[in-house]
Chain A
Amino acid sequence: MMEKPLNNRAWLLVAPVFLIVAFSAILPIMTVVNYSVQDTFGNNQFFWNGLGWFQELLDPSTELGGRFFDALWRNLMFSAIILAIEVPLGILVALSMPRDGWKVAATLVLMALPLLIPWNVVGTIWQVFARADIGLAGWALNALGIPYNYTGDVISAWVTIVVMDVWHWTSLVALLCYAGLKSIPDAYYQAARIDGASRWAIFTTIQLPKMKRVLLIAVLLRFMDSFMIYTEPFVLTGGGPGNATTFLSIDLVKLALGQFDLGKAAAMSLVYNLIVLAVCWVFYTVMTHAGTERPVREIAS
């Protein structure tokens, strides 16, 4: 909350970090920038293309622009769906978690399990679990008369990916909300009971406002993660059926490594990056704004 006094020698100590960041982030990004303004036919032969790729990318009528915007909408749609499910569900789970006793530890461990599984393993688990022929879920659904096949049916594929993400990440939202709930002093609940507040009123007047900050963090994390999702759909559907689950990241890899269109891929990844940064900035502003609303020092002198 208060900065330490500035000391010029501190910059020396920070220098190694700058060097590392330069090599790990700035140089690769500059390489990508370099690619994005050139075209290549392989053999390390490059041609200056100016902003050509960017113009093409941002024009939905071109082939590149078309697939870019398709993938972008898919991404946004996916993020919106999982946020709409995971946030309320996470809050609900957090609200129903036990407050004290041995159950707390047990619940926390259980909740953390999905978070500990590597992402490609999550994809594999669901790939098998949801298979219409041998997977328990897929087989059961079909046995119940619901036509389900994520490799062939667009709806099935989307449902599977969404359910997988919800299974994987709702815990995170729930744990964050739980931490927020735990920080509310008992007196608030007592006061609300005395005021005759209903369960719903307690939620909207006490719990939700006190969870606001952690919820913002949860939404930010989940949005970023889902916007950059790659591994799980890649393992599960490979972007199919057709291009139905080809998200930006998957498309990017197809473009860069599948078709070796380095220039196009570079331009796309830069725009992708800028979108992520912009969203980050918006969230950051909202979050710091939410911070300043609070009374700065309540019991200080």
Chain B
Amino acid sequence: MTLELEKVSRAVAGVTHIHDVSLRLERGSLNVLLGATLAGKTSLMRLMAGLDAPTSGRVLVDGKDVTGFTVKKRSVAMVYQQFINYPALTVYENIASPLRVAGLPRSEIEARVAEAARLLKLTPYLQRRPLEMSGGQQQRCAIARALVKRADLVLLDEPLANLDYKLREELREELPRIFASTGAVFVYATTEPMEALLLGGSTATLREGRLTQFGPTAEVYRRPGDLATARVFSDPPLNTLQATKSGGTVRLQAGGSIPVAGAFASVPDGSYTIGVRAHHLQVEAGEGHEAAPSINGVFRLRASVTVAEITGSETYLHMEAGETPLIALLPGIRGLEPGTAVDVLVDPGQILLFDSAGARAGRALDAAA
């Protein structure tokens, strides 16, 4: 099926939770809803499921208006952050439960449960009870129950948030392939940009109840249409710098100016916001009282190290350039002491440029990522 939201809004007690969202999800697709806590991910999923009705707008399934239909009339399965299973039933019975409700013949139930258990690697545990298994296995059980229904729409609301880091990694890797084998529309909510990238598929970024962008995940990551999307889809957080283009020169508020280059070439004079991801910043030891002049078309600004976080093979360097906080991801171990003066290099070929209203400006930069 295809699921279409048409200018859907929802307000509860005068507070608007979802603003005018239009979205079209195709059959067999994996769609990630990416946004911070309270961005509207769960609210949107509830609208898709039919648990809530939109205040305005329409919900269409295969072109048919289902706006007023409740969840029971739709073919929907849901997986939550909490591991929700029937504690008194075995894993087998847990997975089989939606089929029993549907009154399927015994042989069909057995076949489908076996299939779902195989996909989710639960076959050895079918006779256990959920609480006798690890958190990861419990969540696998919940996912198997959602899949076995063969619902047209499967909604997963931060399903891995309560799992250990390594278990998350394992399931994240498996899930896209499991999903691909079913043909349903999958919607997967997460707060983590990295999770969206690992899952692939398409990503819809949400901010304060508004859909900011929807498209193939890597595309949205590399070519965010506005500042809000770029912020939602950056981990570590997006570095932003204020810049002014005037005549043939671009001047950064935090210091440094270069001749017009990169994305600046195609935009009119004015004030802009530069977005740079952490791994595109370069850092050199600073000497003297001020940053060396910007040369070769690369901005150079003076910053002071606040904290160096070492991950084993890389370093996250937190800095301040005046009042502007910056984070750079540097290869190798760079144990710089707090207070150390450094020069931060910003290559205009690797920036995202936004106008004063937050919309993307300049086209040449689409190569950057």
Interface, chain A (partner B; CB < 8 A): 2, 4-7, 297, 299-301
Contacts and interface: CB of A to CB of B under 8 A. Distances in A.
A300 B42 contact: yes
Contacts of A297: 38
Contact of A4 (B35, B41, B70, B158): B70
B189 A2 contact: no
Contact of A2 (B38, B40, B50, B51): B51
Contacts of A4: 51-52, 70
B37 A5 contact: no
Contact of B70 (A2, A7, A300, A301): A7
Contacts of B70: 4-5, 7
A300 B51 contact: no
24 contacts: A2-B12, A2-B52, A4-B51, A4-B52, A4-B70, A5-B50, A5-B52, A5-B53, A5-B68, A7-B70, A297-B38, A299-B37, A300-B37, A300-B42, A301-B36, A301-B37, A301-B38, A301-B39, A301-B40, A301-B41, A301-B157, A301-B158, A301-B189, A301-B191
Please classify the interface of chain B as helix (H, G, I), strand (E, B), loop, or mixed, using the class held by over half of its residues.
Answer: loop
Contacts of B68: 5, 7
A301 B158 CA distance: 9
Contacts of A7: 68, 70
A300 to B, nearest CB: 6
Pick the 3 closest A-B CB pairs, nearest first: A5-B53, A301-B41, A301-B37
B46 interface: yes
B127 to A, nearest CB: 30
A297 B191 CA distance: 16
Nearest to B33: A301
A296 to B, nearest CB: 10
A4 B38 CA distance: 21
Contacts of A2: 12, 46, 51-52
Nearest to A297: B38
Contacts of B42: 300-301
Contact of A300 (B12, B35, B38, B52): B38
Contacts of B191: 301
A8 to B, nearest CB: 10
A296 B35 CA distance: 19
Find the residue from B50, B51, B53 having the highest chain A CB count within 10 A.
B53
Nearest to A8: B68
Contacts of A299: 37
Interface in B37-72: 37-42, 46, 50-53, 68, 70
B52 A301 contact: no
Nearest to B17: A2
Interface string B65-93: 00010100000000000000000000000
A4 B46 CA distance: 11
Given A5-B50, A7-B68, A301-B42, 20 more contacts: A2-B12, A2-B46, A2-B51, A2-B52, A4-B51, A4-B52, A4-B70, A5-B52, A5-B53, A5-B70, A7-B70, A297-B38, A299-B37, A300-B37, A300-B38, A300-B42, A301-B35, A301-B40, A301-B41, A301-B191
Contacts of B12: 2
A6 B35 CA distance: 29
Contacts of B37: 299-301
A44 to B, nearest CB: 53
B21 to A, nearest CB: 15
B82 to A, nearest CB: 10
Contacts of B51: 2, 4
A301 B46 CA distance: 11
A97 B189 CA distance: 43
A297 B52 CA distance: 17
A300 B12 CA distance: 15
B284 to A, nearest CB: 40
B166 to A, nearest CB: 22
Contacts of B52: 2, 4-5
Contacts of A301: 35-42, 157-158, 189, 191
